[in-house]
């Protein structure tokens, strides 16, 4: 029998007939019914085009089975900090900073979409059942834009939706939410109008619900996108906050609530900009942590890593009312990107993480004593493009020292130094 039975009552989630987090002594009543989550999109990842290129980040040969098992092993720690859901994709996601996504082959459905690869199905089953045993929900995402080219036509898309949904229905899972496509309105989904248009994706949402035997279904769009037709078709309204300011997040929530649909609103992808939770917690909306460098570049270390992961986990727990040990002031800042194993193709991705990014005015980066870059917006990365994306720093032979000078809004200054 399943251990975790998800149900929905209006905008709120329950597990085994109790509002989420209500079982935790001292938890915040306003957080009850939320579903705090993270994007662990590569949880069942494999790349049949070239598995060898993922023998990196200080790890040996890439093993997709071990990769899933390592995620399973990391889940209890995430659960203890309040994570109750995570998104995993059958077609994976994009290692946006390092690998040419169209060169990847991640398609467990086959060209005609008619059958689900048993290896992917086995990993997904193992992951869902492990989450079930912990009291966690898996948001199972079917399609990823860069891999849409692997499906021949609209009929193949419908076949794949049916195959994946029947797999989930036959598994008897009660801790699953279906996300038909990751950001259905962008990129390579233009090849398939049935995914790319609101009308088409709404029909696929209906097909997913029917073929799965009634599992809750939704579908996300690109960062900042909302669509009433898609929301009306959905059981869970999935929104992405990538690239959005906190004001834009607030406006999106107001817009969707204005439709009076009385369904949960879940950001199941945003960024590592944890200050966004300052908007979503008061609005009683669930937020999703997305960190491309720590949690989407395979092979992934699924543990709660120092810096960004730790600060998200701590702030999530704080917002829910879960007791966490206080972090000393000097440990509330972390300079990322200079770890020995994080160089790739002569590039690094430097950024300054803060437990309370709202207190930071700007960050000056110095390379060998010379000012290199200034980061003004969270997450204070070098070569900032968006709150989830940044350009690389090209490694030079004369690199000796990097220093991040953090200017706080109260006038204080903190320095983080790393020797290369």
pLDDT for 172 equals: 98
- Give me the CATH number covering residue 392: 2.60.40.2470
Do 364 and 246 sit in the same domain of this protein? no
Is residue 273 in some structural domain?
Answer: yes
pLDDT at 387 over 80: yes
Mean pLDDT of 332-360: 96
Is residue 326 in some structural domain?
Answer: no
Mean pLDDT of 21-37: 97
Mean pLDDT of 370-378: 98
Do 236 and 115 sit in the same domain of this protein? yes
pLDDT for 295 equals: 97
Q: How confident is the model at residue 146 (pLDDT cuts 50, 70, 90)?
A: very high
Is residue 1 in some structural domain?
Answer: no
pLDDT for 305 equals: 97
- Structural domain tally of the chain? 2
When the pLDDT of each residue in the chain is averaged and rounded to a whole number, the result is: 97
Q: How confident is the model at residue 262 (pLDDT cuts 50, 70, 90)?
A: very high
pLDDT at 60 over 90: no
Beta-bridged to residue 239, according to DSSP, are 267
Mean pLDDT of 92-110: 93
pLDDT for 59 equals: 87
What does pTM read for this prediction? 0.98
**What secondary structure, in 3-state letters, does the chain show?**
CCCCCEEEECCEEEECCEECCCCCCCCCHHHCCCCCEEECCCCCCCCCCCHHHHCCCCCCCCCHHHHHHHHHHHHHHHHHCCCCEEEEECCCCCCCCCCCHHHCCCCCCCCCCCCCCHHHHHHHHHHHHHHHHHCCEEEEEEEEHHHHHHCCCHHHHHHHHHHHHHHHHHCCCCCEEEEEEECCCCHHHHHCHHHHCHHHHHHHHHHHHHHCCCCCEECCCCCCCCCHHHHHHCCCEEEECCCCCHHHHHHHHHHHHCCCCCCCEEEEECECCHHHHHHHCCCCCECEECCHHHHCCCCCCCCCCCCHHHHHHHHHHHHHCCCCCCCCHHHCEEEECCCHHHCECCEECCEEEECCHHHEEEEEEEECCEEEEEECCCCCECCEEECCEECCEECCCCCCEEEEEEEECCCCEEEEEEEC
**pLDDT tens digit string along 274-283?**
999 999 999 9
Residue with tokens 């598994």: 171
Q: Which domain holds residue 375?
A: 331-419
pLDDT at 269 over 80: yes
Mean pLDDT of 367-376: 98
Is residue 409 in some structural domain?
Answer: yes
64's tokens: 């997709």
Q: Are strands 360-367 and 351-354 parallel, antiparallel or unpaired?
A: unpaired
**pLDDT tens digit string along 315-330?**
999 999 999 999 999 9
Do 181 and 68 sit in the same domain of this protein? yes
**pLDDT tens digit string along 167-186?**
999 999 999 999 999 999 99
Is residue 211 in some structural domain?
Answer: yes
Residue where one domain finishes, among candidates 292, 320, 348? 320
pLDDT for 2 equals: 86
Do 357 and 314 sit in the same domain of this protein? no
Q: How confident is the model at residue 227 (pLDDT cuts 50, 70, 90)?
A: very high
pLDDT at 1 over 80: no
pLDDT for 101 equals: 87
pLDDT at 35 over 90: yes
């Amino acid at each position: 029998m399943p251990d975790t039975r998800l149900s929905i009552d209006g905008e709120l989630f329950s597990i085994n007939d109790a509002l989420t987090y209500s079982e935790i002594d001292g938890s915040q009543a306003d957080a009850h019914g939320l579903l705090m989550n993270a994007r662990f999109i590569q949880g069942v990842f494999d790349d049949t085009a070239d598995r060898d290129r993922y023998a990196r980040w200080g790890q040996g040969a890439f093993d997709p089975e071990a990769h899933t098992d390592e995620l399973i092993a990391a889940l209890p720690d995430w659960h203890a900090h309040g994570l109750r859901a995570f998104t995993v994709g059958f077609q994976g996601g994009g290692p946006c900073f390092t690998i040419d996504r169209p060169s990847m082959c991640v398609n467990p459905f086959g060209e005609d979409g008619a059958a689900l690869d048993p290896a992917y199905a086995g990993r997904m089953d193992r992951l869902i059942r492990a989450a079930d045993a912990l009291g966690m929900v898996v948001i199972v995402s079917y399609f990823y834009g860069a891999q849409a080219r692997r499906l021949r036509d609209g009929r193949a898309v419908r076949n794949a939706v049916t195959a994946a949904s029947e797999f989930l229905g036959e598994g008897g899972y009660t801790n699953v939410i279906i996300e038909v496509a990751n950001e259905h309105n962008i990129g390579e989904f233009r090849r398939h109008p049935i995914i790319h248009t609101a009308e088409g994706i709404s029909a696929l949402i209906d097909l997913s619900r029917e073929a799965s035997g009634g599992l809750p279904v939704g579908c996300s769009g690109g960062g900042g996108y909302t669509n009433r037709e898609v929301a009306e078709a959905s059981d869970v309204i999935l929104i992405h906050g990538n690239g959005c300011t906190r004001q834009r997040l607030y406006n999106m929530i107001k817009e969707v609530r204005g439709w009076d649909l009385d369904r949960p609103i879940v950001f199941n992808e945003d960024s590592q900009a944890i200050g966004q939770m300052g908007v979503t917690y008061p609005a009683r909306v669930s937020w999703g942590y997305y960190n491309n460098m720590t949690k989407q570049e395979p092979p992934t270390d699924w543990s709660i890593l120092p810096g960004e992961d730790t600060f998200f986990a701590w702030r999530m727990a704080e917002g829910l009312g879960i007791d966490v040990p206080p972090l000393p002031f000097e440990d509330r800042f972390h300079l990322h990107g200079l770890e020995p194993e994080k160089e790739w193709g002569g590039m690094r991705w430097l950024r300054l993480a803060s437990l309370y990014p709202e207190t930071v005015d700007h960050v000056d980066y110095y390379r060998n004593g010379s000012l290199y870059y200034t980061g003004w917006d969270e997450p204070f990365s070098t070569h900032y493009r968006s709150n989830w994306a940044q350009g690389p720093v090209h490694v030079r032979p004369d690199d000796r020292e990097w220093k991040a000078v953090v200017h706080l809004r109260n006038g204080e200054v903190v320095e983080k130094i790393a020797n290369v």
